[in-house]
Each structure stands twice: as structure tokens, then as C-alpha cells.
């Protein structure tokens, strides 16, 4: 199976069925380095629903992206990596636990084939399915988490333990995330209770709030992320509400006062040394995006930057 994307210099972007970055749809998973997987569940959403429609919205805007990343040595991602779009996992709308199990089964197939899963959420609870699948192969993971919220609450709504605000606590309790190797970046805004941020520290996570990120500067923040993960197998989870809603309005739980799109991409482009074994971009809510679909475009761009991180790592491995 060819895994090169359709050339947009030869065939207009609006021609054909949308896949991520115009990649071929996977007919098999064996032999792939990475697979794009839609995770269209929003059964864990505590506020705006609609993230179930995110995978195809992100794919639609990803046709704007090109294969060469000039920020990492002009690397051509798809000359280094064999990547295909594996379509969407199924879910059970309205049933959070059952949906997580269905998503996990789809991601298991990707991991068992030896490919790195690149998930498109979906509300943020879908990350638990990704962490479970990847940890079966790699053991406890270093979580690198970009968000305006910690998502380490114990429960929501009369003791419900599975939601888009609880999954990282569950992952630590299940032993699939190593908190001593994990870091959360970007927390900001008002709180339910004084411990909303410190609860992550109590679990053993390192936290860099949004204010601390700007005080440190983006290069130092990137260095701190690299030091925390320290070559350990890493799962990177990117919630689009990390970004200020002026630049990413179409999210489930917007939070004012965040970084711009440019600052966000600069931080991702500064990341070095991650052993990326899984990742996701979550919380895109197309119903609240503008007619220009700027949140979907940013989400697709973030995903392309994560592919470039993996491609750069593979180039370094092969040159040793």
C-alpha cells in the first residue's frame, strides 16, 4: 500500500474524500509507523457536547497542510514515516465506560501492529483509552499534557468517576501513567476549589501553570518538559483549550487568558528528545468553531507538528 499523500500541487485540495493530510486510508495496519485514528466520543463531556464530530472537521482542514516541516530541518514527514488514516473507532453514544472500551479495542489493534496511534478526539476522556492501549506495550507512560485544566478530579456529577475531567487521575490509579515522569502545562482560570491545581502535584505530577509558562519563557518550558520525560516512553495529550479562545473558539470548555496560536506552535516546535509512543489532539467542537474553521485548522496543525516530532526522532535513530 502506498502511504504518500495526494499531491496538492497536482490535485486541488477540494477534490476527493477528506483524510488526514490527504493520506491514503489504511487497508492494513502492519508496516505502518503511525496511524491516524478518529476517536469520536463526547459521552464524557461535562459542558458543551459536539466533539464527536471533531475527527472529520479536523480532517477537512488538514488538507491545507503540506508534508515538509521547515521547523525541524525541512523534514519530509512522509518520506520518513509510513502513515495512513485508519478511520474512526466506534463508540456507544451516551455510555462513557462502554465507549472507552470500544475506543481501546480500536487502538489496541494499532499498537499491536507496531504503529504509533495519533488520536483525534473527541472529548478529553478518550485519552484514557489511548493510554490504556499504549501502556500494554510500553508499560507506565510519561504523560505530557497541554491543557487549561488538570483533569485530575476524582469525580463529577454525583460520584461519576469517568469523564473528561477525571481520566488522568484514573490513569495514575491504574498504573498506566508514571506521575514522576509526567508534566501538565497551561493550567489557568477560575477554580472549583483551591486544590484544583495542587491535586495534580499531590498525585506526583509536575505542573507548569499558564502564568508560570510565560514567566519561564517557551524555550525553558520546553526544556522542563524534556527533562521530566527524560527519554521515557511518552504519551502527549493536547487539549485545544490550552489555546486562548480568541484563537481556538471551537472547544468544549474555553478558558480565557491562554497562549496565541503562534506561541502554542512555537512551544511544540521547541520540544526535543520526546520518545513519542502515542498522542492525541482533543476537545475540538466544530459546532462552536467559526466559519473559517480556525480551531480545526489549528488542531490539524498541532497534529502535523506531533508527526514531525516522531519523524525527527526516527531520523536520529537511523543515523546512529
Looking at residue 128, its pLDDT comes to 98
Q: Strand, coil or helix: what is 160? A: strand
The DSSP secondary-structure symbol of 179 reads: G
Q: Where are the domains of the chain?
A: 20-318
Residue ranges with strand state E in 212-318: 233-239, 275-282
212: enclosing H helix or E strand: helix 210-216
pLDDT band at residue 263, thresholds of 50, 70 and 90? Answer: very high
On the question of pLDDT at 270 being above 80, the answer is yes
Name 70's Cβ contacts closer than 8 Å, sequence gap at least 6.
none
167: enclosing H helix or E strand: helix 167-173
Question: Hey, what's the cell of 59?
Answer: 480532517
On the question of pLDDT at 145 being above 70, the answer is yes
Of the listed ranges 67-81, 155-169, 258-272, the least confidently predicted one is: 155-169
Q: How far is CA 21 from the centre of its chain?
A: 16
Contact by Cβ (8 Å): 41, 103: yes
CATH label, 20-318, candidates 3.30.300.30, 3.90.1170.50, 3.40.1710.10, 3.40.800.10: 3.40.800.10
- CB-count burial class (<10 Å; 0-12, 13-18, 19+) for 194: exposed
Compute CA distances 39 → 108, 109, 112, whole Å: 13, 14, 18
68: enclosing H helix or E strand: strand 68-69
Of the listed ranges 178-182, 189-193, 261-265, the least confidently predicted one is: 189-193
On the question of pLDDT at 298 being above 90, the answer is yes
Looking at residue 158, its pLDDT comes to 84
Q: What is the mean pLDDT of the chain?
A: 96
On the question of pLDDT at 262 being above 60, the answer is yes
The four Cα atoms 132, 137, 138, 144 give a dihedral, to 10 degrees, of: -40
The mean per-residue pLDDT over the stretch 246-270 comes to 98
Contact by Cβ (8 Å): 218, 264: no
212-231 in b/e form (b: 16+ CB < 10 A) is: ebeeeebeebbbbbbebbee
**277: nearest Cα among 107, 102, 54:** 107
99-127 in b/e form (b: 16+ CB < 10 A) is: bbebbbebbbbbbebebbbbbbbbbbbbb
Looking at residue 181, its pLDDT comes to 98
Looking at residue 1, its pLDDT comes to 53
184: enclosing H helix or E strand: strand 183-187
Compute CA distances 136 → 15, 104, 133, 260, whole Å: 39, 11, 6, 36
On the question of pLDDT at 64 being above 90, the answer is yes
Contact by Cβ (8 Å): 240, 253: no
Contact by Cβ (8 Å): 42, 284: no
The mean per-residue pLDDT over the stretch 283-294 comes to 96
Q: What whole-number distance in Å separates Cα of residue 193 and Cα of residue 257? A: 19
pLDDT band at residue 2, thresholds of 50, 70 and 90? Answer: low
The mean per-residue pLDDT over the stretch 265-287 comes to 97
The mean per-residue pLDDT over the stretch 68-89 comes to 97
Amino acid at each position: 500500500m502506498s502511504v504518500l499523500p495526494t499531491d496538492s500541487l497536482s490535485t486541488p485540495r477540494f477534490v476527493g474524500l477528506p483524510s488526514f493530510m490527504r493520506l491514503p486510508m489504511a487497508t492494513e495496519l502492519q508496516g505502518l509507523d503511525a496511524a491516524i485514528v478518529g476517536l469520536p466520543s463526547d459521552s464524557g463531556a461535562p459542558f458543551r457536547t459536539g466533539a464527536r464530530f471533531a475527527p472529520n472537521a479536523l480532517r477537512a482542514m488538514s488538507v491545507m497542510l503540506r508534508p515538509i516541516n521547515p521547523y525541524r530541518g525541512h523534514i519530509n514527514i512522509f518520506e520518513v514515516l509510513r502513515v495512513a488514516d485508519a478511520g474512526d473507532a466506534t463508540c456507544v453514544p451516551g455510555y462513557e465506560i462502554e465507549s472507552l472500551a470500544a475506543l481501546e479495542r480500536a487502538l489496541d489493534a494499532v499498537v499491536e501492529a507496531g504503529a504509533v496511534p495519533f488520536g483525534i478526539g473527541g472529548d478529553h476522556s478518550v485519552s484514557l483509552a489511548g493510554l490504556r492501549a499504549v501502556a500494554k506495550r510500553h508499560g507506565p507512560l510519561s504523560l505530557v499534557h497541554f491543557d487549561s485544566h488538570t483533569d485530575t478530579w476524582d469525580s463529577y456529577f454525583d460520584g461519576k468517576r469517568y469523564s473528561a475531567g477525571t481520566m488522568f487521575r484514573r490513569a495514575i490509579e491504574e498504573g498506566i501513567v508514571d506521575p514522576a515522569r509526567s508534566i501538565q502545562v497551561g493550567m489557568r482560570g477560575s477554580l472549583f476549589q483551591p486544590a484544583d491545581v495542587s491535586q495534580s502535584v499531590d498525585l506526583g505530577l509536575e505542573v507548569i501553570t499558564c502564568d508560570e509558562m510565560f514567566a519561564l519563557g517557551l524555550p525553558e518550558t520546553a526544556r522542563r518538559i524534556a527533562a521530566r520525560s527524560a527519554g521515557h516512553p511518552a504519551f502527549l495529550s493536547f487539549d485545544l483549550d490550552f489555546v486562548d479562545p480568541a484563537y481556538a473558539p471551537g472547544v468544549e470548555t474555553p478558558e480565557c487568558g491562554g497562549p496565541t496560536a503562534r506561541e502554542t506552535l512555537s512551544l511544540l516546535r521547541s520540544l526535543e528528545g520526546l520518545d513519542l509512543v502515542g498522542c492525541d489532539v482533543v476537545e475540538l467542537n466544530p459546532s462552536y468553531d467559526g466559519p473559517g474553521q480556525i480551531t480545526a485548522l489549528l488542531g490539524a496543525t498541532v497534529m502535523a507538528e506531533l508527526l514531525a516530532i516522531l519523524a525527527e526522532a526516527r531520523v536520529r535513530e537511523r543515523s546512529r
